[in-house]
Amino acid sequence: MTEVNLDNVRQQLTALNLKADKMRIVTVSAMDEDVLESCTSNEGECFYNSYMNVIYGKGERYVLGYRLENEVIDHAIIRKGDQYFDPTLQAEGDFKEYQYAVMAEFTVFDMMKHAKSNKDFPPDVDYIFSKASKFKNVIDVERLKK
């Protein structure tokens, strides 16, 4: 697994007007190759891929947040049971487990409802910030007002 400096990550998330201490950090694992083969995994399209994979039952939740690297990267993954997967990155090959800061998780119904109000695009970080009052558990709404 790629090691990251969690203090540095928290500072970056806080600078993005997030409540870093309220965000869960999870480990993203590799999925079985046979399951990966049946997943939507277009290169560089994590939001679309995760959206489609939840619609088609490859995952139970659409998960929005940040890949934790030297610089945090907004990214979407899927959850099945209590495990988190990233078919987009795994399909690129040479996948290593990594840590991920969860901003929000959506059931298929909630994900589609949000997509409908987002011009049929899957929810992304910009969309979540546009609805900040509904996500004030992880977004520092007071800092946004400054």
pLDDT digits (tens, 9 = 90+) for 24-53: 999 999 999 999 999 999 999 999 999 999
User: How far is residue 138's CA from residue 119's CA, in Å, rounded to a whole number?
Assistant: 24
pTM assigned to the model: 0.93
- The residue type of 11 is Q
Helical ranges in 19-107 per DSSP H: 33-37, 46-55, 87-91
Q: Is the pLDDT of residue 94 over 70?
A: yes
Instruction: Give the mean pLDDT of 122-146.
Output: 90
pLDDT at 112: 87
pLDDT value at residue 6: 84
Q: Answer for the pair 84, 77: CB distance below 8 angstroms, yes or no.
A: yes
Q: Report which of 56, 77, 53, 57 is spatially closest to residue 65, judged by C-alpha positions.
A: 77
Q: Is a pLDDT exceeding 70 seen at residue 144?
A: yes
| pLDDT above 90: percentage of residues in the chain | 79
pLDDT at 2: 66
